[in-house]
């Protein structure tokens, strides 16, 4: 059953019904474990399980039920039948909607944690009541949650796709190319530049595919497809360890299904 999340900044004046609590110890999320089922704590407040957060943030509502993110102290003892897990580990373990709110929660929690003081004059900041923004009461500097746009592109050559390996990838895994947008660039310019820099080839027909929030730590992945024009693969060693053309029927290990990289690859494989 699909759930509807509505973002918001004004928390209920009285929290009298259970809420979803997306509580983080560092960058790991507190989850409740019931046998093979993993979910988010659904409570009136964190005090109900003996936890006292450093600070909390109202996120909005999921099917009318409040959602909060929370920063836990480093010395927090994890309650029984609970655990802390990285968001990458929780792919597929949480439902799509809870995972989506988890991704939002960690970014807002981290933004709140790192913007308690003005970066210009050092004055404690204030959270505006009707907008997700912190403002300095002294110099009026405003800070919105940080978002880092990045492009990700699948390049095809007839029935072949260009895949590459980065040093951080799991053993033998390949993926499509990606990179961050630089100031002054359009998304299409970023695609062409990143491809030229990382593998030395030219492309055309750059077309939008889709997007995906990527909270590692605060990216928005914007997906494109493109077709090969010319050039031989020359790997940029600072970014990649290998890159090659693979036939759509003979691919190496690729990213898992929830990622936009996998969606791009699956689209290519299934397109006649």
Binding residues for a divalent metal cation: 178, 194, 198, 239
Asked if the peptide bond before residue 217 counts as cis, ω within 30 degrees of 0, the response is yes
Q: Which residues are documented as binding site?
A: 88, 118, 121, 131, 136, 139, 144, 178, 194, 198, 212-219, 239, 261
Residue (of 174, 105, 185, 184) closest to 151 by Cα position: 185
CA end-to-end span of the chain, whole Å?
Answer: 32
Query: For residues 150 and 228, what is the distance between their CA atoms, to the nearest angstrom?
Result: 21
Could you tell me which residues are annotated as the binding site for substrate?
88, 131, 144, 212-219, 261
Among residues 26, 25, 66, which one has the least CA distance to residue 42?
A: 66
CA distance 105 to 213: 12
- Judged on CB neighbours under 10 Å (0-12, 13-18, 19+), 237 is exposed
Q: Per the annotation, where are the binding residues for Zn(2+)?
A: 118, 121, 136, 139
Beta carbons within 8 Å of 125's beta carbon, 6+ residues apart: 115, 116, 117, 118, 134, 135, 136, 137, 143
d(CA 252, CA 255): 10
């Amino acid at each position: 059953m699909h759930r509807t999340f509505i973002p918001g900044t004004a928390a209920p004046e009285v929290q009298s019904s259970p809420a979803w609590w997306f509580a983080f110890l560092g960058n790991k999320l507190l989850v409740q474990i019931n046998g093979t089922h993993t979910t988010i704590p659904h409570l009136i407040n964190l005090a109900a399980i003996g936890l006292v957060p450093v600070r909390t943030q109202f996120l909005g509502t999921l099917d009318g039920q409040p959602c909060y993110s929370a920063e836990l102290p480093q010395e927090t003892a994890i309650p029984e039948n609970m655990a802390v897990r990285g968001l990458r580990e929780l792919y597929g373990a949480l439902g799509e909607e809870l995972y989506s709110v988890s991704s939002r929660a960690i970014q807002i929690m981290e933004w709140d944690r790192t913007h308690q003081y003005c970066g210009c004059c050092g004055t404690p900041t204030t959270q505006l009541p009707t907008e997700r923004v912190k403002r300095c009461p002294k110099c009026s500097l405003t800070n919105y949650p940080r978002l880092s746009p990045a492009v990700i592109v699948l390049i095809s050559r007839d029935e072949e796709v260009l895949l590459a390996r980065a040093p951080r990838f799991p053993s033998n895994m390949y993926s499509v190319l990606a990179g961050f947008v630089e100031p002054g660039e359009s998304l299409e310019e970023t695609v062409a530049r990143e491809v030229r820099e990382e593998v030395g080839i030219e492309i055309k027909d750059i077309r939008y595919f889709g997007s995906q929030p990527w909270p590692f730590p605060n990216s928005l992945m914007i997906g494109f497809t493109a077709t090969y024009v010319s050039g031989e693969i020359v790997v940029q060693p600072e970014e990649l360890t290998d890159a090659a053309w693979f036939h759509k029927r003979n691919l190496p290990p690729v990213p898992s299904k929830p990622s936009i990289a996998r969606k791009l690859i699956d689209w290519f494989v299934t397109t006649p």
